[in-house]
């Protein structure tokens, strides 16, 4: 029987609804205890509580510490797979950081729930069982960190939370899931490309994320970027900015602060196509780094991680093309 390490970090999957106030909050005794007992016919589960936080309280510091915790745990004991339970709001960010920094030969699965433990149709136990099945499956090896939710398997790189409340919230726009979980087993239909691993001891760089809008000028960029090491902007369409933002972007680049552009569009890749004022061609010639389809929150984490390893704008551009 496979041995799976289950690490809890909190989130709705660890919460219950107060039937008087309707508020959802953390619970003393982990509500997945009963499911863990049930799982004993699928795998041997070793369960550890890492933190018990709603995921809006999770920071890059926790993500990096979690990676260290995982590395320590998997070195001191032999496991066949790892399942992490997490709040859904920032789940994709933790999964992506783990995907970029973890060096482990075993499958790593991140999951959560949209409905807390005592709500009708609570999805936590089901998602946990599916995740353990995926963690036990040989085919999950070498696919990077995976997010298992609502019968689907997604790559950490592409998955994002798309709905505020629906249990089918996790989707991979443009690419779709890489596999499914059914009553009979785990079926993969795609294999993600291997991406680079980075070593990060601590996050020390401050990178901010801004979103472009019609009529935007330089003021927000100027005000927000006084003491930063990098800026990620969710630009318009294929990677264009309103012309009045150009002086502030130029100023950042002149000061050696990298500016990474992603698109605020849900699908597609930001590219240097348009040559008008503020268009992608002008931005690229100025030294703006175009990212290869990551969303804003993930590009921010990748820039934080990359800046711990390099300051070279050529290397940064190369990393964001991967
Ligand atoms: N707000 C909750 C959290 O991210 C949502 C969830 O877990 O689904 O912790």
Among the three residues 188, 217, 250, which one is the final residue of a domain in this structure? 188
Task: CATH number of the domain at 218, please.
Answer: 3.40.50.40
124 CB near ligand 1 (under 6 Å): no
Do both 255 and 216 map to the same domain? yes
For residues 102 and 105, the model is more confident at: 102
Ligand 1 pocket: which of 55, 59, 150, 169 to mutate (most atoms within 8 A of CB): 55
**Residue range 137-168, pLDDT digits in tens:** 999 999 999 999 999 999 999 999 999 999 99
- Cβ-based neighbours of 13, under 8 Å, separated by 6 or more: 31, 32, 85, 86, 87, 111, 112, 113, 116, 117, 124, 127, 128
Do both 155 and 7 map to the same domain? yes
12 CB near ligand 1 (under 6 Å): yes
**Residue range 33-44, pLDDT digits in tens:** 889 888 999 999
Do both 69 and 129 map to the same domain? yes
Total-model pTM: 0.96
Mean pLDDT of the chain: 95
271, 290 Cβ separation under 8 angstroms: yes
- Give the range of the structural domain holding residue 238, as residue numbers without chain letter: 207-321
Count up the domains in the chain and report the number. Answer: 2
Do both 12 and 43 map to the same domain? yes
75 lies in a domain?
yes
Do both 162 and 259 map to the same domain? no
Do both 56 and 111 map to the same domain? yes
Catalytic residues: 12
Instruction: Decide: helix, strand or coil at residue 5.
Output: strand
pLDDT at position 167: 97
**Residues recorded for the chain:** 322
Distances (CA, A) of 95 to 68, 100, 221, 264: 14, 9, 28, 21
Task: CATH number of the domain at 159, please.
Answer: 3.40.50.1170
198 lies in a domain?
no
Mean pLDDT computed over 45-56: 96
9 CB near ligand 1 (under 6 Å): no
Do both 12 and 123 map to the same domain? yes
88 CB near ligand 1 (under 6 Å): yes
Do both 107 and 229 map to the same domain? no
Protein residue with least CA distance to atom 3, ligand 1? 87
Instruction: Decide: helix, strand or coil at residue 124.
Output: helix
Query: What is the rounded CA–CA span in Å between residue 86 and residue 65?
Result: 14
38, 50 Cβ separation under 8 angstroms: no
Tokens of 208: 């901010």
């Amino acid at each position: 029987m496979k041995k799976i390490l289950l690490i809890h970090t909190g989130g709705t999957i660890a919460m219950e609804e107060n039937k008087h106030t309707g508020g959802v909050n953390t619970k003393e005794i982990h509500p997945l205890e009963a499911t863990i007992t049930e799982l004993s016919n699928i795998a041997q589960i070793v369960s550890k509580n890492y933190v018990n936080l709603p995921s809006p309280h999770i920071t890059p510091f926790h993500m990096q510490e979690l990676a260290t915790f995982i590395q320590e745990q998997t070195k001191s004991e032999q496991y066949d797979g790892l399942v992490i339970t997490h709040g859904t709001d920032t789940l994709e960010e933790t999964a992506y950081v783990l995907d970029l920094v973890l060096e482990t030969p075993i499958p790593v699965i991140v999951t959560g729930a949209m409905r807390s433990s005592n709500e009708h149709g609570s999805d936590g136990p089901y998602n946990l069982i599916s995740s353990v099945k995926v963690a036990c499956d040989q085919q999950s090896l070498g696919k990077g960190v995976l997010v298992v939710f609502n019968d689907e398997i997604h790559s950490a790189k592409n998955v994002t939370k798309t709905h505020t409340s629906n249990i089918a919230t996790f989707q991979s726009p443009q690419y779709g899931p890489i596999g499914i979980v059914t009553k009979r087993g785990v079926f993969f239909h795609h294999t993600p490309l291997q991406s680079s691993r980075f070593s990060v001891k601590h996050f020390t760089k401050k990178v901010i994320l801004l979103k472009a809008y019609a009529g935007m000028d330089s003021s927000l960029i100027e005000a927000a970027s006084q003491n930063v090491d990098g800026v990620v902007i969710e630009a318009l369409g294929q990677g264009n900015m309103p012309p009045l933002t150009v002086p502030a972007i130029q100023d950042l680049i002149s000061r050696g602060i990298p500016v990474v552009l992603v698109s605020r569009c849900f699908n597609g890749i930001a590219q240097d196509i348009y040559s008008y004022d503020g268009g992608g061609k002008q931005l690229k010639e100025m030294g703006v780094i175009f990212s290869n389809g990551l969303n804003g929150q993930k590009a921010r984490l990748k820039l934080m991680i990359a800046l711990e390893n390099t300051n070279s704008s050529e290397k940064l551009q190369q990393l964001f093309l991967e």
